[in-house]
Amino acid sequence: MKIGAEDFMQILVMDWVRFMQFDGFIFHVANERSCSPHSGAMLKRKGVKSGVSDIAIMRASKGHNGAWIELKSAMGKLSPNQKKFLDDMHNENYFTACCYSAESAIATIKDYLNIT
């Protein structure tokens, strides 16, 4: 199994999250997948939504209800659905960010949670 750049970044971020013992309120939304059309239709009926960000932080901080972070490789671009999701969440008073490295994502989480 080949691991992509965004997969590797996600693993690095979540390893840090587990090390910091934040995995009770920070998690990865496993929205990316390859599956049969039948399985894809079933997942969609169950509520899987295109564009949902990679990382959810279910803790209020800095006046926000929580946070959503999208991870992208250095050359990655937000899809229209990802941009819409981030905009919608921002409008619902969630902190939102798109990060292009694991280090940037960790720094964003630290800043959001007021960790030095």
What pLDDT, in 10s, does the model give residues 31-85?
A: 766 778 888 788 888 888 889 999 999 999 999 999 999 999 999 999 999 999 9
The set of residues, in sequence order, having a beta carbon less than 8 Å from that of 48 and lying 6+ positions away, is 31
CATH topology of domain 5-112: Trna Endonuclease; Chain: A, domain 1 (3.40.1350)
Return the pLDDT at 30: 83
Residue 114, pLDDT score: 96
Query: What's residue 1's pLDDT?
Result: 61
Query: Residue 27 has what pLDDT?
Result: 96
What's the pLDDT score for residue 33? 67
Number of Cβ within a 10 Å radius of residue 75: 7
Helix (H, G, I), strand (E, B) or coil at 103: helix
pTM equals 0.90
Quote the CA–CA distance of 115 and 21 in Å, as a whole number: 13
Q: Round to whole Å and give the CA distance between 66 and 96.
A: 9
| Range 23-38 average pLDDT | 86
Average pLDDT of span 25-36? 84
pLDDT value at residue 4: 84
pLDDT score at 49: 87
